[in-house]
Structures are given as C-alpha cells and as structure tokens.
Amino acid sequence: MAYKNFILVCGGTGCESSRSDEIYKSLIREAEALGVSHDVQVVKTGCFGFCEKGPIVKVLPSESFYVEVKPEDAHEIIAEQVIKGREVTRLLYRKDKNAETTKLEDIEFYQKQFRIVLRNCGVIDPESIDEYIVRDGYRALEKVLFEMTPEEVIAEVKASGLRGRGGAGFPTGMKWEAARKSPGDIKYIVCNADEGDPGAYMDRSTIEGDPHSILEAMVIAGRAVGANFGYIYIRAEYPLAIERLKIAIQQAKNYGLLGKDILGSGFDFDIEIRLGAGAFVCGEETALLQSIEGKRGMPRPKPPFPAVKGLWGKPTVINNVETLANVPVILTRGAKWFASIGTDKSKGTKVFALTGKINNSGLIEVPMGTTLREIIFDIGGGIRNGKKFKGVQTGGPSGGIIVEKDLDTPISYESLTALGSMMGSGGMIVMDEDDCVVDVSKFYMAFCVDESCGKCAPCRIGTKQMYGLLDKITKGQGEEADLVKLEQIGKAMTKASLCMLGGSAANPTLATLRHFRDEYLEHIRDKKCRAGKCKDLVVYEIDPIKCIGCGLCARHCPVPCITGEKKKPHVIDGSKCIKCGECFVACKFGAVVKR
Amino acid sequence: MAKMTLDQLRALRAQKQEELEKRTVEGKDIQVIVGMGTCGIAAGAKQTFDAIVAALEKHNMAGKVVVRQTGCMGLCYVEPTVEVVMPDMPPVIYGKMTSDVAEELVVKHLIEHSLLDNHIFDRPAVDIVKH
C-alpha cells in the first residue's frame, strides 16, 4: 500500500479557529465516499505561517497550495485532484486577484523569509566539508583567487551595499578598502563572534550550522585587504560552535583551502580561534582587539580606527559573523543580485532571533524592508495565549522598544534608529501586556551595570545611577523628579561615553520613557504596576465571596501568612506577605486577586 | 585527502553533485536528518537521534537508512526537528520530534509510507543554492 497523494491541513491555532478541523474531517469523509481512501492520506500539520489566508491546505507531491479553504471545498479537492489529478485552480494562492497562480518555487511566495546567511543552516551537515563544497562552497574563493584582483573584490563588495551586521551598519567594502590602503605588510582579519545580547543567538546558529561559510569569507577578506592571518574571537560559552569551527578549520587545512599556497594560487592564509570569557564589552571592536592581545578587554578612543591601527598596531578588519556569511554569496551571485534585495540604503537580508511572548519563536532571516508587523504576526504567528502586544525590543540592551503604532515601518538601519531603537545584532524580544516596561528597563540597566568595563566615568557612574533610580521606582519610592534625572543622565551618557556600550545603555530606558511615561507615573503616583511584575507594588488579597475555604493557598504559602477556618474565607496578612505569588497560582477558584 | 588544486576542487564538487542528484548517501536511499544546533540538542535532539537509530535496528531498516545531523532550521518553537527524504515520498520536515515519537516515525513514515499527524512543519524559505 502506498499513498499517491498527501493532503496537509494546517492545524495551527489560527487555522484551527477558522474551521480547519472540519476541513480535515470532511476530506477524510469525501475520500472514503469516493472510494479513494487508500490513495490519499489526510494529515494535520503545524502552522504554515500564513495565517491571514488560512485555513491552508497543501497537497503533495504536486505542491498545490490552497488558501481560505472551506469544508465545502473538500469534495472538489478529492474529486478533482486525487481522482483526476487536476489542481483546483480557484483555491490556489494568488498574489493579487488578477495575477496568475503562484508556484511554490517562486521567491515572492507566502514565505516572508529569504535565506542568504542561513542558506546552509539546517540543510547540510556542518561537520562535512564536502556537503559545503557541493552547495557552491569555496566557489567564491576560486573566483577571488584566480579570476579577480583584490581591488575588484573590494569594488564588488562595495557595490553590493553590504553593511556591518553587528549593529552599527558600517559599509563593509569601505572597511576593507581602508585596511587595504593602510600601509604595512602585516594585516589581520578578525571575525567578531562575541555575541552577547540577551536573547540573541544568530551568530551561534550560523557557526553551528555552516562554519565553512565564515572561513571562506575570511580567506576572501584576507586576499582583498592583503592579510595572511585571521582570528575568530568567540565566547567560551559556545562550546558546540567552537567544536564545529575547529573541525571545519582542520578540514579546510587538509584540503589546502587554508594554510600555505591555497589551491596552488600562491596565497597564504591561516585562521586561529581565540576564546573570550563572555564579557559583553568585548563585542566592541577595540576592546575585542585588546582581549585577543591578552590584555584586559577595554575599549579605546577611535580614531585611529582598527582598519588603520588594529591588532598589535597593524591594520585590521573586524567583521561580524553574519556580515562574513554574506560575502561568499555576494561573490558567486554578484553584487547586482545582492543589491536588488532590501531597501535603498540597507541591502540584503537580516537574521533575527525572535523570542519572547510569541507563538513561533525562532531564527528567521528576512529581506531588509520587511515590516515588524510581518515578522511578529506573520512569521512569528502573533502573541502567545491571545494576549495583547505591548512592544518589541530590538537591539537588546543597546536598543529600544518599538510600539504598536510603529510596527508598519520597513526595517532598515536608519528606520530603527529613527524610532529610538537600533538594528543591533538582531535579538528581537516581543513583550505583551504582562510585561512591565519599568521592570524591563531595570533588567537591561542591571545588565549594563554588570557589563560596563569601568574605564570611562559616564558609563561606569551613569549606569549605576540610572539603575538606582529605576530600582526606586519599581519599589514604589520614586518621585516625578526622578524621570527628569533619568533623562538627563541618559542623554549625558549617550553623548559622553567612550564606546557604544555606554553610548547606548540608556536607550531602553529613554525609549520606554518616551512611549510609556504614563506607566512610570503610575508606579510613582499610584504605587501601581499594571502588569503585576513589580513585586513591591503588588498586593495579594482573597475575595471572600469566591473563597471556599479549602486551605490550599495556606498550604502553599511559605511564610506562612494566610489564616482561616476550614470552609470559611481565608485572609492574607499583608504585613507578612513576601509576594511570592504561590497562593495566586495555587487557588483553583480564582479567589486570590492581584492588585 | 591531500591538499587540492583548483581542478581537484572542481572535480570533487562535480562528483559530489552527481551523488546528490542520485539522492543516495553511502548507497542508502533514505535520509533522516536531525537538526542538531544548540537549540535542538537542548530540546532533546541527541536522544531523538539515538532513538531513531535504535528503532531502525529494531525494525531491520538500518541497512537502508542513513541518519545525519544538520544545524538549526530556525524552527525553535518545535524543536527537535527531523527531516525525512526518501524515494516515492515528498520530503517532509517534522517538528516536536522527541525521542518517544522516533519509533512512530520509523514505522509510519519509513515502513508504511504514511505521514505523521500534527508534526509536519514547513521549510522556512526557498533554497537559494538549488541548482
């Protein structure tokens, strides 16, 4: 017995609510009625991520993609497609009403994602160099070594419009050119894999899934700027990524793709791994170089830029993992192709680690110019448990929160900065109504207090002072004047800090103050946290009408501060309560209320 | 292999390309590919991998199937993920493939040629490297 067709019915929450279960049942019923239940299997699947056109039904192997299917359509799908082998054209997805139906292979399909950086992730075995090679791996290197001059390589990267994916967005080609033009016979290429934002794991996944793309790009960069040595600076807490890099380096050496006289071209290039101890500041390029040199990781003023005076005083190119992963594709597919993707000033794609209160958390890659709404609601499948969207934090502790009204902004370096956030490295944390903005700002500020290297006063003192003020507000001891102080210190820190750690540390606080000032004032004036996150402002009480006196809350209370006779309403002693919330979770009757 | 020249690299690519088109690895025509990035491993991909290997042994399928690893497919919310590529069946990506579903996968998909309910997910994007 073998099925000839498979009908996949989307069983995601969006489609479930639009009657996908009925469709599933009627498809099975129709298949039986028409006597073809041995030829076709009907299965329920996970979310296809195209919920606004749901319910979705997909037929394999023909790859027919049906949208807005109704239970009444089941008969036609079985009768036409399964029995006669003809697609039900009226149900096929069309980009707009007049367009021809779209085939699955078409790029502008329902999938909003487009994978350049992650092209091999989840496709090849990362520990097999042959699998990388067969998927155009090291083809760009062939071109660079045998068909192009270094100047042509730089011109191509410049023409592609590729900009640094570590966050700041400096044009990669210009960085390479500056390093090429800097005098000196010893130059270095450094790959910055010191990914440290809370909630970000783009670089880790890229290295774990496709380590050779980074190695290939580093050799290309070396050839372009005239460097013969490269370092990959990666944090020690990424053991799997390090392991796979080591394997990849060894394989490349064995094949003669690293080392002396690469592929007989006469060009030498070698790579070593340097482990970081996990200090956030070492993601800043000058601090990173100090750390490679074996010194304490602290930034220094720029200029001179590393492209002029970098590692051991030599011209050095520092590129982020994601930036490098784009390079081989730019050279094989051409700058023109790459520049056709994205917006006017931000070309190509961006990888985001989508996390937080979202249904489909994951690692995603979208063309620049995609809107946040598409990312959160189409790819991400919306907010978990039907809660209300509150904001999305991009750029981690250096970024800001973006609110509902700005969700339709197409993503680019400039547009996110204009919204008071930043592209950052690509962490994207979605918050819902249960998140308190003051608490979130305090969390990021605490992170910056810990991670500030202490070299410059604005950052060392500013982060600490801002943290103190935020802490005061979450404890209900804040004053309105504190908000002015927060803004003053924040602005001073932004202007006067030595590096971007301090320069951006105030961003989350300043952004929330701008968008959610009323919530700050609520904490200060009414001693109230509407999300119920700020423990000191929450009061737990028992509703005497709902309470049946089962005593479950009292048994869970660790203090204990809940008393009452059996079968009679219990009472919480507010003076003893430590606000752990155990009673709230334990009560089966919703009698414990949070105020 | 010793150090390669440009021509040798090109020859290797062409040879591997041919193998890929035949869709056979080590003479076996069924491939089970487990997503094993940090995220997958944290969700139990190693246990899944082992359970699949054990189930293949149990059902005398080990000689026909190659079980491989790959990096993160990006579907963090349904890890562990497993892709199955085999003749006469459409390639399918399964999510939420914990070790207890491994035997069901081997029996239903590999032996009975039918798909598993409630586990199928979509490849997140088209492949730009496809030839």
CATH code of A393's domain: 3.10.20.600
**Contacts A364 to B, Cβ<8 Å:** 74, 124
Q: Check residue A105 and give its pLDDT.
A: 45
Q: Which of A208, A212, A214, A247 to mutate to test the interface with B (most CBs of B within 10 A)?
A: A208
- Does residue B3 lie in a domain region? no
- A428 and A442 together in one domain: no
In Å, how far are A313, A547, A573, A584 from A554, measured between CA atoms? 67, 12, 11, 11
pTM equals 0.90
- A133 and A74 together in one domain: no
- Measured at the CA of A467, the angle between CA A464 and CA A471, to 5 degrees, comes to 140
DSSP label of A171: B
d(CA A224, CA A551): 73
ipTM for the predicted complex comes to 0.90
What are B25-82's pLDDT values in tens digits?
667 889 999 999 998 999 999 999 999 999 999 999 988 999 999 998 888 889 999 9
CATH code, domain with B42 = 3.40.30.10
**Tokens 């009908």 belong to which residue?**
A7
Strand A349-356 relative to strand A427-432, pairing: parallel
A residues 368-407 closer than 8 Å to B (CB): none
Q: Residue A453: which residues within 8 A CB-CB, separation 6 or more?
A: A279, A281, A287, A296, A297, A298, A299, A459, A501
Do A201 and B39 lie within an 8 Å CB cutoff?
Answer: yes
Task: Report the residue of chain B nearest A137, measured CA to CA.
Answer: B13
B69 touches chain A (CB under 8 A): yes
CATH code, domain with A83 = 3.40.30.10
Contact B122, A49 (CB under 8 A): yes
- A149 and A211 together in one domain: yes
Residue B62 Cα, gap to closest chain A Cα (Å) = 20
**Tokens 């991670």 belong to which residue?**
A451
- A366 and A323 together in one domain: no
- A361 and A298 together in one domain: no
A184 touches chain B (CB under 8 A): no
d(CA B76, CA B96): 10
d(CA A377, CA A259): 47
- Does residue B34 lie in a domain region? yes
Contact B125, A52 (CB under 8 A): no
**pLDDT digit string (tens) for chain A, length 595 residues:** 578 889 998 877 666 677 888 899 999 999 999 999 888 999 888 777 666 777 888 888 888 888 889 999 999 999 998 898 888 888 887 755 555 544 444 434 456 788 999 999 988 999 999 999 999 999 999 999 999 999 999 999 999 999 999 878 999 999 999 999 999 999 999 999 999 888 899 999 999 999 999 999 999 999 999 999 999 999 999 999 999 999 999 999 999 999 999 999 999 999 999 999 989 999 999 999 999 999 999 999 989 999 999 999 999 999 999 999 999 999 999 999 999 999 999 999 999 999 999 988 889 999 999 999 999 988 888 898 889 999 999 988 889 999 999 999 999 999 998 988 888 888 999 999 999 999 999 999 999 999 999 999 999 999 999 999 999 999 999 999 999 999 999 999 999 999 999 999 999 999 999 999 999 999 999 999 999 889 889 889 999 999 999 999 999 999 989 999 989 999 999 889 988 889 999 999 999 988 7
**Contacts B96 to A, Cβ<8 Å:** 46
Do A111 and B17 lie within an 8 Å CB cutoff?
Answer: no
- Does residue A341 lie in a domain region? no
- A361 and A327 together in one domain: no
Q: Residue A523: which residues within 8 A CB-CB, separation 6 or more?
A: A438, A473, A474, A476, A478, A529, A534, A537
- A171 and A250 together in one domain: yes
CATH code, domain with A565 = 3.30.70.20
Contact A174, A224 (CB under 8 A): no
B113 touches chain A (CB under 8 A): yes
**Contacts A61 to B, Cβ<8 Å:** 90
Do A115 and B125 lie within an 8 Å CB cutoff?
Answer: yes
Q: Check residue B24 and give its pLDDT.
A: 65
B75 touches chain A (CB under 8 A): yes
Contact B74, A380 (CB under 8 A): no
Beta bridge partners of A393: A401, A429
- Does residue B9 lie in a domain region? no
d(CA A177, CA A307): 9
A residues 504-563 closer than 8 Å to B (CB): none
CATH code, domain with A261 = 3.40.50.11540
Residue A212 Cα, gap to closest chain B Cα (Å) = 13
Within 13 Å and on the Cβ side, how many CA atoms surround A593?
A: 9
Q: How many other CB atoms are there within 10 angstroms of residue A555's CB atom?
A: 12
User: Residue B47's domain spans which residues?
Assistant: 29-121
- A81 and A150 together in one domain: no
- Does residue B16 lie in a domain region? no
SS3 B39: helix
Q: According to the 3-state scheme, what is the secondary structure of B42-102?
A: HCCHHHHHHHHHHHHHHCCCCCCEEEEEECCCCCHHHCCCEEEECCCCCCEEECCCCHHHH
d(CA B114, CA A198): 41
Do A263 and B88 lie within an 8 Å CB cutoff?
Answer: no
**Contacts A138 to B, Cβ<8 Å:** 9
User: Residue A590's domain spans which residues?
Assistant: 539-594
B residues 82-111 closer than 8 Å to A (CB): 83, 88, 90, 95-96
**Tokens 């985001």 belong to which residue?**
A352
Provide the number of structural domains found in chain A.
5
- A443 and A426 together in one domain: no
Q: Which of B41, B77, B116 to mutate to test the interface with A (most CBs of A within 10 A)?
A: B77
Strand A389-394 relative to strand A400-402, pairing: antiparallel
- A54 and A87 together in one domain: yes
Provide the number of structural domains found in chain B.
1
Do B2 and A241 lie within an 8 Å CB cutoff?
Answer: no
Q: Check residue B25 and give its pLDDT.
A: 67
For A228: left if phi > 0, alpha if psi spans -120 to 50, otherwise beta; the answer is: alpha
